Amino acid sequence: DTEVTQTPKHLVMGMTNKKSLKCEQHMGHRAMYWYKQKAKKPPELMFVYSYEKLSINESVPSRFSPECPNSSLLNLHLHALQPEDSALYLCASSHDWTSTDTQYFGPGTRLTVL
Amino acid sequence: GQQLNQSPQSMFIQEGEDVSMNCTSSSIFNTWLWYKQDPGEGPVLLIALYKAGELTSNGRLTAQFGITRKDSFLNISASIPSDVGIYFCAGQNNNNDMRFGAGTRLTVKP
């Protein structure tokens, strides 16, 4: 099983809303990632969690707040977003945070901020 | 930072034709990866390369890790309509920081 699941698949929210994106994997992977992807662009790394601890924050605005409640789950809490935050948000996981370890991506959440 | 140059940006080919795309970098990588992304979906790993000079096949796909560790290519033989999508190369360095190329958008005409 190499599946990473993400919910919801689509999300529309206003700039004053609070919402959360969820990601789950049951492959025993200890590294999990959030990426943001704009149309016709490659994914851009936002956060990396390794063993449930935040290892990398790529200078992401505080209106994006990640959370890793356990080794299988990764959340991204959203608050006071801007229309330019509309994008495909991808979750990925890998066995460990090493150079030879392959990342597996989920299907993404298509976020629209009105 | 390390930038990946992926080419071509887009390709329009006839079904049955072979396809070739490549990625180059100004810096070396320890691992090269090729992903395919369909519209509205996440990238799916096609081939992973771990050693300089390595040539790996996955069905009709063949990819090579350049000997200088600064480039990689992906070939698709006898293309079919379901090959349509965006192909991304990615390079990884020691801290698992993965850099993507800009993508090659492939269109296959039946």
CB contact A11 to B (< 8 Å):
no
Contact B100 A110 (CB under 8 A): no
Of A41, A45, A105, the CB nearest to B43: A105
Contact B40 A90 (CB under 8 A): no
Q: What is the pLDDT of residues B30-74, one digit of tens each?
A: 899 999 999 889 999 999 999 999 999 999 999 999 999 999 999
DSSP letters of B45-87?
EEEEE-STT-EEEETTEEEEE-TTSSEEEEEE-S--GGG-EEE
pLDDT digits (tens, 9 = 90+) for A79-95: 999 999 999 999 999 98
**Contact at CB, A97 and B103, closer than 8 angstroms:** no
Please give, rounded to a whole number of angstroms, the shortest distance from the CA of B55 to a CA of chain A: 16
Q: Do B35 and A105 touch (CB under 8 A)?
A: yes
The pLDDT tens digits for B53-64 are 999 999 999 999
